[in-house]
Structure 1
Amino acid sequence: MKYFKLPDLGEGLQEAEIVRWHVAAGETVKTDQLLVSVETAKAIVDIPAPYDGIVAKTYGGEGDILHVGEPLMAYEGEGDAGTVVGRLEGGGNNQDDQFFIGAAPSTREHMASRATPVVRQLARQLGVDLSALSGSGRDGLITRADVEGAAQVERDKFGGEKLHGVRRSMALNMARSHAEVVPVTIFADADLHRWGHARDPLIRLGQALVAACKVEPVLNSGFEGKSLSIKQHETLDLGIAIDTPDGLFVPVLRNVGNRTAEDLKKGMDRLRADVKARSIPPKEMMGATLTLSNFGTLFGRYANPVVIPPQVAILGAGGIRDEPVAVNGNVVVHPILPLSLTFDHRAVTGGEAARFFKALVIALEKPEG
């Protein structure tokens, strides 16, 4: 029996939630036939069959979360057997003693031997302490049912619903940021009275960020906290936070500094449309070097935006409003854009952030042209 494992879905995507199986045990499948749809932190992905065969067993049901390298489906039949990379022991009362194959081994860490790797990861995902459980399996082995039962007891105590997909990813990313980043936020206002039209600042903000990165390129960097290593990026790939009913998406506008305003506008419109349709490829959600949150299109002036590592900075733009401004001893009304810049103080000094912010505001306040 051969096992087809959850493949690598792209940079940073180590798990996926099963949305729908398109095959069942006993069915014959052909190469490239759709097997299962899964939801990652980035998008819904359809996974095809790697070769012809008969489905012996599928692993996981709708709503279950699998990790890269764990088996998705057991095959019976012909096909490229690949390389034997490990031994799979089932997570229930029965255990399969067959070897499994796949493109790469699971990235899970090994824990105590009282549970299989699948069950140990499930326990981590559900927040269940294995040391507090008595296993119902053979020789005290903790089973999937034991972990799910313990998790259900805790959910019943709390109530509510389990987070899925994008919202689950957001919760994990926010927790990671809180645990790792040393955030500092500074605030400023940009006077947009020289603009011909001051109500759609997104592209101008992207261009101003490029100008600021030329003054202080350290804010367009990746920082690795464990090794205390920093790498400055040659181009600005700007993550744009987009609010949707399903949660927060952050598609990436590539190579902002080497594109025209018209090209950037077309690129942003395409990203928004793909996010709305939930058809955006996972690769379009990866690799941002700096992020922009244009929350002012909804409401609000200033914020404390959250830096997601390995990035070291995020810019928040509030809502533009007409405000009184003193000019040459006279009070006039100008459109003012409030800005909030959060930076990771592990990698960026206060002086670097201030110079970056000043350059950004100067670039924003220039006339359109």
Structure 2
Amino acid sequence: MAFEYELPDVGEGVAEGEIVAWHVSVGDHVDEDEVLAEIETDKAVVDLPSPVAGTIQELHAEEGDVVPVRSVVVTIDVDGGTDDAEGTADASGEPEAGSGGETATEAAGSEEPSVADGRVFAPPNVRRLARELGVEITAVDGSGPSGRITEADVRAAAEGDDEGTTERSDGEETTGRERTSSGDGQRKSAVKRRSDTERRSATGRRTNGESASADAADRERTLAVPATRKVAREHEVDIDEVPTEKERDGEAFVEPEDIERYVEARESAEVGASVESAEASAEGRPAETTAESEVTAESTAAGTGDRPVSTEPYRGIRRTIGTQMQTSSQTIPHATHHDTATVDDLVEARAELKPRAEDRGISLTYMPFVLKALVAGLKEYPIMNTELDEEAEEILYKEYYNVGIAVATDAGLMVPVVENVDQKGLLDLASEVNELAEKARNREIAPAEMRGGTFTVTNFGAIGGEYATPIINHPETGILGLGAIEQRPVAENGEVVARETLPLSLSIDHRVIDGAEAAQFTNTVIEYLENPTLLLLE
């Protein structure tokens, strides 16, 4: 039976997804729950597991294509007739709970119900970890609810595999990272790779410059975080060809700087080839035509006259950010209040507490201090912790304090939310902020972790700068921008002295908040930042 698998509705308002990479080709046999592709939405990158076991008949989208939800993405010839397909996915192609077709919401940690047919229950992030560590997911015992497999289960299985090797039936030794296929007695990866002629990058054709790739690696498997793979796609680089000396769990591990070095070497080789071609032309010798020269010619032809241009699709997270910023700027009349806090005592307090935090494995930044001072200000001026319901014509006062932290990532600006800031200590906040920021940068953050904010903080000073006009995260009514903490001249008792100062930029929704309230709120925040012992009261 031919089963047409539609891109499931992953919720959270997502209407489409981009095919980042196919893990299968036409003719490949796949098992139920085996990952078919990586899908990038405007929320996150998620795996697309197969709801049935069978043979791939047709792929209906190319890598880099944007596919609407409920569009057919792959046709599978189901093993054993119709019985395997029925009950696993409904007529719309949407996976049922526990079928392996987890959505982005399930990847965030929702429990999967118990099913008595022996299927493996593990969310996409756990399956991805299993692939990176070379663990056969079907051999892992789940310790979670209803036998659900957790990251800890996978890591424990990986550590157990590393203790020794097992002997294959043919007498050869193999490590636990080699995964068994079904039925042929041989060991191979559960995720089949395309042949070299079939593989291509998600953003375009691969170039064929032998001189450029003379020092390239030739691996069958490479570990890398999603952000690194995005860099590889942007540069049209096969990540398996990028040289690296780094390893993780015994496998080659590539980071963005490895890709940059490889691209620089490739470009240098291309320049050398161009020079050789010019010399050959001057001497009357024919020059070889390479794929690189064809690509360069196409790029130049696509330009404006003598001014070549390149393009980048406006979609995914970048488009979501743009839409949100446009809605905010067009809906909210922004007003920005600037001020400066003198924070010598804060700098000293953090310096004193930082070693103690490191002893507990926590990196203590200034952000937890700012969050506590911010909540003190929000409690004193509740108008800052509001939302304007335009349809009901009501101002909603929120009596909880969930603060969004703007994080710059390779994919754009993301805003993870730290919930119930008023109920947490400095070290708890530091640990949570660090964890959320890392998950955002690695594109592993769940949509639920970016919802429910009541106020936002953006730290542009970490990159450089003093003041700005931050755009409010609609439908909130305020956002606080932080400049860089540096020594600056301050007038004291008629003299100019050097003091550690923190520039602050507060943008408000002027429909709801007056300038006087913004100034008073900022003064309260400054009071707590300049006197960090007051934070003990919060």
- For 1:38 and 1:223, the matched residues in 2 are separated by 35
- For 1:301 and 1:43, the matched residues in 2 are separated by 31
Q: Is the 8 A contact 2:9 2:94 kept in 1?
A: no
C-alpha displacement of 1:305: 0.6
- For 2:390 and 2:530, the matched residues in 1 are separated by 35
- For 2:344 and 2:467, the matched residues in 1 are separated by 20
Is residue 7 from structure 1 mapped to residue 8 from structure 2 by the alignment?
A: yes
Per-residue deviation, residues 112-159 of structure 1 (Å, max 9, x unmatched): xxxxxxxxxxxxxxxxxxxxxxxxxxxxxxxxxxxxxxxxxxx87794
75, 81, 87: which one pairs with 1:80?
A: 87
Which position in structure 1 is the counterpart of 2:275?
none
C-alpha displacement of 1:221: 3.3
Per-residue deviation, residues 88-130 of structure 1 (Å, max 9, x unmatched): xxxxxxxxxxxx44379xxxxxxxxxxxxxxxxxxxxxxxxxx
Per-residue deviation, residues 142-192 of structure 1 (Å, max 9, x unmatched): xxxxxxxxxxxxx87794312354333333332332332221111111121
- For 1:2 and 1:234, the matched residues in 2 are separated by 50
Q: Is the 8 A contact 2:88 2:95 kept in 1?
A: no
Report how many aligned residue pairs link the two structures.
Answer: 305
Is residue 188 from structure 1 mapped to residue 180 from structure 2 by the alignment?
A: no
Amino acid at match of 2:518: A
Which position in structure 1 is the counterpart of 2:21?
20
Is residue 336 from structure 1 mapped to residue 520 from structure 2 by the alignment?
A: no
Is residue 236 from structure 1 mapped to residue 401 from structure 2 by the alignment?
A: yes
Is residue 323 from structure 1 mapped to residue 488 from structure 2 by the alignment?
A: yes
Q: Is the 8 A contact 1:53 1:79 kept in 2?
A: no
Amino acid at match of 1:60: A
**2:344 aligned counterpart, secondary structure:** coil
Q: Is the 8 A contact 2:485 2:500 kept in 1?
A: yes
- For 1:352 and 1:258, the matched residues in 2 are separated by 25
Q: Is the 8 A contact 1:192 1:198 kept in 2?
A: no
- For 1:6 and 1:357, the matched residues in 2 are separated by 47
Q: Is the 8 A contact 2:408 2:441 kept in 1?
A: no
C-alpha displacement of 1:347: 3.7
Per-residue deviation, residues 257-290 of structure 1 (Å, max 9, x unmatched): 1111011111122223333433333433333332
Is residue 270 from structure 1 mapped to residue 270 from structure 2 by the alignment?
A: no
* Sequence identity percentage: 34
Q: Which structure has greater strand proportion?
A: 1
Is residue 309 from structure 1 mapped to residue 310 from structure 2 by the alignment?
A: no
Larger RCO (alpha carbons 8 Å, 6+ apart): 1
Which position in structure 1 is the counterpart of 2:373?
208
- For 1:232 and 1:226, the matched residues in 2 are separated by 16
Is residue 160 from structure 1 mapped to residue 310 from structure 2 by the alignment?
A: yes
- For 2:518 and 2:338, the matched residues in 1 are separated by 11
283, 295, 317: which one pairs with 2:460?
A: 295
Using structure 2 for the length normalisation, give the TM-score: 0.50
C-alpha displacement of 1:14: 3.5
Q: Is the 8 A contact 1:43 1:279 kept in 2?
A: yes
Q: For residues 234 and 34 of structure 1, do their structure 2 counterparts lie closer, same or farther at Cα, with a shift above 3 Å needed? A: farther
- For 1:287 and 1:55, the matched residues in 2 are separated by 41
Is residue 354 from structure 1 mapped to residue 523 from structure 2 by the alignment?
A: no
**1:307 aligned counterpart, secondary structure:** coil
Q: For residues 161 and 2 of structure 1, do their structure 2 counterparts lie closer, same or farther at Cα, with a shift above 3 Å needed? A: same
- For 1:68 and 1:224, the matched residues in 2 are separated by 30
Q: Is the 8 A contact 2:70 2:93 kept in 1?
A: no
- For 1:325 and 1:26, the matched residues in 2 are separated by 72
C-alpha displacement of 1:318: 0.5
Q: Is the 8 A contact 1:19 1:36 kept in 2?
A: yes
Contiguous gaps of at least 5 residues in structure 1:
85-99, 105-154
- For 1:312 and 1:66, the matched residues in 2 are separated by 35
Superposition CA RMSD, Å: 3.2
Q: Who wins on radius of gyration, i.e. which is larger? A: 2
Contiguous gaps of at least 5 residues in structure 2:
79-84, 97-301, 352-364
Q: For residues 343 and 57 of structure 1, do their structure 2 counterparts lie closer, same or farther at Cα, with a shift above 3 Å needed? A: farther
- For 2:454 and 2:6, the matched residues in 1 are separated by 31
Is residue 366 from structure 1 mapped to residue 516 from structure 2 by the alignment?
A: no
- For 1:307 and 1:248, the matched residues in 2 are separated by 13
Q: For residues 312 and 56 of structure 1, do their structure 2 counterparts lie closer, same or farther at Cα, with a shift above 3 Å needed? A: farther
Per-residue deviation, residues 231-260 of structure 1 (Å, max 9, x unmatched): 443332222222234432322222211111
- For 1:67 and 1:227, the matched residues in 2 are separated by 33
- For 1:227 and 1:26, the matched residues in 2 are separated by 57
